[in-house]
């Protein structure tokens, strides 16, 4: 690696919101360093496409959520078509972000994950020991599913 030399695979990357097919090509052909650059610069940092006309609104949303969830605003980010302007989902590759698109937010916070784990463990103990009861069969099905999924998710480091 030559310091400060732009890899050739990025020669056509000058726009803030590159087209989905360009990102896909780099992810497929660029190697780990290129994938990490894509993830940092276009998929998790900067002003999301959905807020390009009003960047402060993005910050206001993150600030509001950070207070409600007791996390740092920088731990909240966005992915999907709202981030780069086009979908990267294989079935919708290149579909433009529009007024019907959703906003896919995520939080990376060890503190929040630990609080969720504690709450989940308390809930699962209460459910499994019959201290709390679902209101009906449908809810019981959801609770049992959540019990299985929750343990699986936490073992993988997310929820």
> pLDDT of 83-142, one tens digit each?
999 999 999 999 999 999 999 999 999 999 999 999 999 999 999 999 999 999 999 999
Note the pLDDT of residue 14. Answer: 81
Residues 80 and 130 occupy one common structural domain: no
Angle among Cα 112, 113, 114 to the nearest 5 degrees reads 90
Note the pLDDT of residue 134. Answer: 97
Note the pLDDT of residue 68. Answer: 98
Note the pLDDT of residue 10. Answer: 85
Residues 95 and 28 occupy one common structural domain: yes
For residue 2, is pLDDT > 80? no
Q: Would you say residue 122 lies in a domain?
A: yes
pLDDT tens-digit series, residues 35-88: 998 888 888 888 999 999 999 999 999 999 999 999 999 999 999 999 999 999
Q: Would you say residue 67 lies in a domain?
A: yes
Residues 14 and 56 occupy one common structural domain: yes
Residues 94 and 116 occupy one common structural domain: no
Note the pLDDT of residue 98. Answer: 97
Residues 80 and 14 occupy one common structural domain: yes
Residues 12 and 85 occupy one common structural domain: yes
pLDDT tens-digit series, residues 76-92: 999 999 999 999 999 99
Distance CA 98, CA 96 (A): 6
Range of the domain at 148: 112-155
Which whole-number Å values give the CA distances from 138 to 24, 37, 64, 133, 134, in the listed order?
Answer: 41, 45, 34, 12, 8
Where does a domain end: 108, 125, 144? 108
Note the pLDDT of residue 71. Answer: 98
Which CB contacts under 8 angstroms, 24+ apart, belong to 72-75? 72/109, 75/107, 75/108, 75/109, 75/112
Look up the pTM and report it.
0.80
Residues 131 and 60 occupy one common structural domain: no
CB 44 within 8 A of CB 105: no
Residues 55 and 99 occupy one common structural domain: yes
Note the pLDDT of residue 1. Answer: 63
């Amino acid at each position: 690696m030559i310091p400060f030399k732009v890899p050739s695979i990025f020669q056509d990357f000058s726009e803030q919101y590159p087209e989905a097919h360009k990102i896909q090509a780099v992810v497929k052909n660029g190697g780990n360093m290129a994938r990490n650059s894509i993830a940092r610069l276009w998929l998790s940092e900067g002003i999301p496409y959905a807020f390009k006309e009003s960047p402060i609104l993005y910050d206001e949303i993150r600030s509001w959520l950070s207070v409600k969830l007791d996390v740092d605003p920088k731990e909240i980010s966005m992915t999907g078509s709202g981030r780069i302007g086009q979908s990267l989902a294989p079935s919708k590759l290149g579909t433009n972000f529009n007024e019907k698109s959703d906003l896919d937010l995520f939080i990376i916070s060890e503190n929040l994950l630990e609080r969720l784990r504690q709450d989940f463990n308390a809930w699962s103990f209460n459910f499994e020991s019959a201290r709390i009861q679902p209101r009906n069969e449908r809810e019981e099905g959801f609770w049992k599913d959540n019990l299985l999924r929750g343990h699986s998710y936490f073992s993988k480091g997310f929820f």
